[in-house]
């Protein structure tokens, strides 16, 4: 897979597939607390474009950043992991 420096690739879990050609992907990150040095999990949800509607809730997927598709969509689903 060829990736450029500007495009970001993330792994996450599909939490919603109720929209047409769109899925919501939850991406978890582990951050280190600046004072207590303990790692904690934070998550963010991204709307991603799914042209064929082949990804459903619970699937682990990889998403890639692309030019804006709509007001909220800046990612496209590449593959199922």
**Roughly how many angstroms between the first and final C-alpha of the chain, as a whole number?**
14
Q: Where are the domains of the chain?
A: 9-80
- 9/52 Cα distance (integer angstroms): 20
Top-level CATH class of 9-80?
mainly beta
pLDDT (tens digit, 0 to 9) for every residue of the chain, 81 residues total? 555 566 899 999 999 999 999 999 999 999 999 999 999 999 999 999 999 999 999 999 999 999 999 999 999 999 999
3-state secondary structure 10-69: EEEEEEEEEECCEEEEEEEEEEECCCCCCEEEEEEEEEEECCCCCCCCCCEEEEEECCCC
- 45/15 Cα distance (integer angstroms): 9
* Predicted TM-score of the model (pTM): 0.86
Contact 52, 77 (CB under 8 A): no
């Amino acid at each position: 897979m060829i990736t450029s420096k500007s495009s970001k690739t993330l792994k996450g879990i599909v939490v919603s597939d109720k929209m047409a050609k769109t899925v919501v992907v939850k991406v978890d990150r582990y951050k280190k607390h600046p004072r207590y040095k303990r790692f904690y999990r934070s998550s963010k949800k991204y709307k991603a474009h799914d042209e064929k509607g082949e990804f459903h809730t619970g699937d682990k997927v990889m998403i890639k950043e692309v030019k804006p598709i709509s007001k909220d969509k800046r990612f496209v689903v590449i593959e199922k992991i």
